[in-house]
Amino acid sequence: MAPITRLLILHKDHPQPEAMGQALVPWLRARGVDASLLPSGADSITMRAEAAASDAVLVLGGDGTMVGVARRLAGIRTPLAGMNFGRVGFLAGLPADGWERPLTDMLAGRWELERHLTLRWRILRRDADSFVTRDEGVAINDVVTAHGVVARAVSLSLHIDGVHFSTLRCDGVIVSTPLGSTAYTASAGGPLTIPSMNAQLVTPICPFAGGFPPIALPASSRIRMEACRQGDQVLLSVDGQENFPLDVGDVLEIRGVPDQLHMLVSDPNWYLRRLIDRGIVTSGPGRKENL
């Protein structure tokens, strides 16, 4: 990674990260870095233009802010880094306290660039003898198809690469990226997956008819789901931040798109270490060793 000379800072709409952003701008400019500051909720046209003109984007907030920014900037390929102001901070490599040394290393180009897959999704609705796109977008972590009412099951027909894989009666189905495997997928018993892998993870949620073990698919696989029972109130949830209704007869299509999200990391083994540090993986009894 080359040294960073222009940095876009995006802050969550909260006093603490906003104050940090305002303090960082003069600190960066004193070190020869052209810095600009925007709220993470700025309009997409401005944000994408500023990101495209920058060497990197620093996001001040929690994991939700990081995911929301990444979704809005998907495809720009300007690398993202995060400073954690949230509870878990799984995606953020910079601490809110003691950030000076790691940020200096990042600006000097001593961090590594990682490339990650995102999910492209679209909802198709029948129009006469064809289908038209009703909604479409990008997911960084996952897309979840589930009932709009808590503790109600839905019936979903699942096709993979043109093969009718299963018709499920379940609480829902999660399709996740490797980067998002530590979120809802892991809670539902899906596999933890190294983020740099180009894979899509499909995990049924509490199936009691038509269930299958979680399955990992290539990025190129075409996943198709349909709500197939009248009366089910089915919602598509994107990264837990956006919701779209899925009516009977609508078709949800999902595919993986590699190399759409770039991230800067200080440690190539950050994922494995953070699984342990954040308590997602817990150590059993016995001696701990650094291998």
Domain hosting 125: range is 118-258
Q: Would 16 be classed as within a structural domain?
A: yes
Q: For the residues of 124-183, what is the DSSP string, one character each?
A: EEEETTEEEEEEEEEESSEEEEEESSTT--EEEEEEETTEEEEEEEESEEEEE-STTIII
* Same-domain check for residues 71 and 175: no
The model's pTM is 0.93
* Same-domain check for residues 183 and 135: yes
Domain containing 46 — which CATH number? 3.40.50.10330
Q: How many angstroms from the chain centroid is the CA of residue 115?
A: 13
* Same-domain check for residues 215 and 195: yes
Spatial CB neighbours of 217, under 8 Å, sequence gap ≥ 6: 160, 199, 200, 201, 202, 223, 256
* Same-domain check for residues 212 and 147: yes
> Which residue is listed with tokens 């197939």?
228
- Would you give per-residue pLDDT tens digits along the chain (291 residues)? 799 999 999 999 999 999 999 999 999 999 999 999 999 999 999 999 999 999 999 999 999 999 999 999 999 999 999 999 988 889 998 999 999 999 999 999 999 999 999 999 999 998 878 889 999 999 999 999 998 766 688 999 999 999 999 999 999 999 999 999 999 999 999 999 999 999 999 999 999 888 899 999 999 999 999 998 887 889 999 999 999 999 998 999 999 999 999 999 999 999 999 999 888 888 777 665 555
* Same-domain check for residues 223 and 190: yes
Measured from the Cβ of residue 202, the count of other Cβ atoms closer than 10 Å reads: 24
For the chain, the 3-state helix, strand and coil shares in percent, each to the nearest 5, are 20, 40, 40
* Same-domain check for residues 87 and 17: yes
Out of 13, 34, 55, 63, the active site residue is 63
Spatial CB neighbours of 79, under 8 Å, sequence gap ≥ 6: 1, 56, 57, 113, 262, 263, 264
* Same-domain check for residues 78 and 129: no
State yes or no: is 161 an active-site residue: no
* Same-domain check for residues 57 and 133: no
> What span, in angstroms and rounded, lies between the C-alpha atoms of 253 and 124?
8
Query: Could you tell me which residues are beta bridge partners of residue 243?
Result: 237
* Same-domain check for residues 98 and 128: no
Q: Would 288 be classed as within a structural domain?
A: no
* Same-domain check for residues 249 and 273: no
Q: What domain count does the chain have?
A: 2
Fill in the DSSP letter of residue 278.
Answer: T
Domain containing 221 — which CATH number? 2.60.200.30
Q: Would 41 be classed as within a structural domain?
A: yes
| Residue 131, amino acid | F
Q: Would 59 be classed as within a structural domain?
A: yes
* Same-domain check for residues 165 and 89: no
Cα angle 52-220-93, degrees, rounded to a multiple of 5:
45
